[in-house]
């Protein structure tokens, strides 16, 4: 075989080996260093705000970092407080209306049992008494087996539920520890951000530095664009639901719309976790007008979400709408709900690497000087 092709194959295998080895090393190291990776990401995100405080307010950089972290924590705490306040308000409202709705549900169940279940039971009992002893024994044995399976399933669920309580309780100290280390890592990384950048500039080639800057710039644009897109989608959903509930003259329309906007973050379930039980209850309660109105509103929300999500994501992140839609679908089919977030992220990374000419440089390296 020609030595040129052998050299190309060896360089290709070297590139593949470095990529796989780097991915494996990152995977295993991230298991023990993830608080510092979180700190690096947070430092990357708050760096513009830190620079603003440092230049405009003439703060020392450590103080600017501290102020940025305080603002970040205040925003997070404010959102959590708002969420808790809405939950408490909703709980108080439910506490006042649930007993009445529960009475309606119990009355519906009683009427259904009296009108449907008891006559059906009498028919089944009459047919059962007409069977011979062997057939009756077979039916009883099957019913017992089904009962054992249901009982076993319920028992396993209860056992697993109570068994997971100690794990959940133990998670809180671990989460607090991770949060503390992440905040400390964010502070120290952000404080010495430009010193670390200068150190990286000394050990990396100029071409690698230029490519890295291009990739980071695209990732920053895409990351902020992704959050902007999600905020836009949630806002659109909340406004549509609010208008629909006001038209339907539903009480606490603002609170319900805000709750629906928050749960809209959950992929696929989203507003359905609120609307579907609500529609079913209104059907059971005989309020068909409201049930139909809620059903129409839910369909409108679903349709606008499916139409607007690829378009808004693509415009905010800077990707082709079809490529974004494919990334969403492939990510969901590959790793589930998390893939709806990671799919566009992976696409952004590949797009950034392409714009930074990383793939071209790798191909030139593999081909060698003979190209």
- Per-residue model confidence (pLDDT) at position 45: 79
Six-digit token pair at 137? 């024994």
Q: What gap in Å lies between CA 297 and CA 248, rounded to an integer?
A: 10
Six-digit token pair at 354? 């392409």
DSSP annotation string for 304-334: HHHHHHHHHHHHHHT--HHHHHHHHHHHHHH
Q: What angle do CA 158, 162, 165 make, to 5 degrees?
A: 150
CA distances from residue 113 to 95, 101, 103, 118, 148 in whole angstroms, order as listed: 27, 18, 15, 6, 25
- Per-residue model confidence (pLDDT) at position 116: 73
- Per-residue model confidence (pLDDT) at position 370: 47
Give me the residues of the chain with pLDDT under 70, please.
1-2, 83, 86-87, 89-91, 93-95, 97-102, 105, 110, 128, 131, 135-136, 157, 161-166, 168-172, 201, 204, 207-209, 211, 265-269, 317-321, 336-338, 340, 369-371
Q: What gap in Å lies between CA 329 and CA 349, rounded to an integer?
A: 17
Six-digit token pair at 281? 């209850």
If one counts every other C-beta atom within 10 angstroms of the C-beta of residue 72, the result is 16
The secondary structure element, H or E, covering residue 83 is helix 61-112
Query: What tens digit of pLDDT does each residue of 275-331 get?
Result: 888 888 788 777 888 889 888 988 998 888 878 877 777 777 666 667 777 877 787
In terms of Cβ atoms closer than 10 Å to its own Cβ (0-12, 13-18, 19+), residue 123 is exposed
């Amino acid at each position: 075989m020609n030595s040129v092709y052998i050299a190309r194959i060896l360089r290709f295998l070297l590139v593949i080996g470095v990529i796989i080895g780097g991915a494996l090393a990152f995977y295993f190291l991230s298991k023990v260093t993830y608080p510092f990776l979180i700190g690096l990401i947070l430092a990357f995100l708050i760096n513009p705000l830190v620079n603003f405080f440092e230049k405009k307010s003439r703060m020392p950089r450590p103080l600017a970092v501290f102020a940025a972290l305080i603002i970040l924590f205040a925003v997070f705490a404010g959102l959590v407080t708002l969420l808790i306040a809405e939950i408490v308000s909703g709980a108080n409202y439910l506490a006042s209306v649930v007993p009445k709705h529960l009475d309606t549900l119990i009355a519906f169940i009683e009427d259904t049992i009296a009108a449907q279940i008891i006559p059906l039971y009498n028919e089944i009992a009459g047919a059962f008494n007409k069977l011979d002893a062997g057939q009756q024994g077979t039916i009883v044995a099957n019913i017992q087996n089904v009962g054992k399976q249901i009982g076993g399933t319920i028992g396993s669920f209860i056992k697993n539920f109570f068994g997971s309580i100690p794990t959940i309780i133990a998670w809180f100290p671990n989460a607090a520890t991770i949060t503390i280390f992440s905040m400390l890592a964010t502070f120290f990384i952000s404080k010495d951000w430009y010193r670390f950048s200068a150190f990286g500039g000394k050990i990396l080639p100029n071409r690698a530095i230029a490519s890295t800057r291009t990739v980071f710039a695209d990732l920053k644009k895409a990351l902020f664009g992704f959050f902007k897109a999600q905020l836009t989608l949630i806002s659109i959903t909340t406004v549509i639901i609010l208008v629909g509930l006001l038209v339907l003259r539903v009480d606490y329309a603002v609170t319900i719309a805000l709750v629906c906007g928050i749960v809209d973050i959950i992929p696929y379930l989203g507003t359905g976790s609120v609307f579907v039980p609500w529609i079913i209850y209104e059907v059971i309660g005989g309020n068909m007008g409201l049930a139909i109105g809620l059903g129409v509103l839910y369909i409108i929300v679903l349709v606008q979400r499916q139409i607007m999500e690829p378009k808004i994501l693509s415009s905010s992140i800077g990707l082709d709408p079809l490529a974004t839609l494919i990334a969403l679908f492939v990510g969901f089919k590959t790793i589930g709900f998390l893939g709806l977030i990671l799919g566009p992220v992976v696409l952004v990374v590949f797009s950034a690497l392409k714009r930074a000419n990383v793939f071209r440089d790798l191909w030139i390296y593999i081909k060698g000087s003979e190209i």
